[in-house]
Amino acid sequence: MGNNREKPAVYIAVEDNYKNSSLLNYLGYGLEEEGIPFKMVNDSAQDLYSLAHQAAQASRLNVSLALGENNKVIIHHKKLEPDNPFFEKEISKEFQAKAIASNAARLVKGIPIKDIPLEIDQKNKSVSDILIDLDNFKSISKDAKNEKISNSEKDVDENRIKELTNYIYQKLKNIENK
Q: What is the pLDDT of residue 163?
A: 73
CA–CA distance from 79 to each of 40, 53, 65, 103, 141 (Å)? 21, 9, 14, 17, 38
Q: What is the pLDDT of residue 162?
A: 74
Q: What is the pLDDT of residue 130?
A: 63
Question: Are residues 2 and 59 in contact, defined by beta-carbon separation less than 8 angstroms?
Answer: yes
> Pairing state of beta strands 10-14 and 63-68?
parallel
Please name the residues in contact with 127: beta carbons below 8 A apart, sequence gap of 6 or more: 168, 171, 172, 175
Low-confidence ranges of the chain (pLDDT < 70): 1-4, 44, 119-158, 160, 174-178
Query: Of the candidates 9, 58, 56, which has an alpha carbon nearest to the alpha carbon of residue 34?
Result: 9
Question: Are residues 23 and 69 in contact, defined by beta-carbon separation less than 8 angstroms?
Answer: no
Q: What is the pLDDT of residue 157?
A: 62
Q: Is residue 135 classed exposed, middle or buried when 0-12, 13-18 and 19+ CB atoms within 10 A define those classes?
A: exposed
Q: What is the pLDDT of residue 122?
A: 55
Q: Is residue 75 classed exposed, middle or buried when 0-12, 13-18 and 19+ CB atoms within 10 A define those classes?
A: buried
Q: What is the pLDDT of residue 15?
A: 92
Longest dimension (CA), the chain: 58
Query: Of the candidates 33, 32, 94, 103, which has an alpha carbon nearest to the alpha carbon of residue 65?
Result: 103
Q: What is the pLDDT of residue 127?
A: 60
Query: Of the candidates 118, 21, 36, which has an alpha carbon nearest to the alpha carbon of residue 72?
Result: 21
**Distance between CA atoms of residues 27 and 14, nearest Å:** 11
**Distance between CA atoms of residues 25 and 10, nearest Å:** 14
CA–CA distance from 158 to each of 79, 84, 141, 154, 155 (Å)? 43, 39, 9, 6, 5
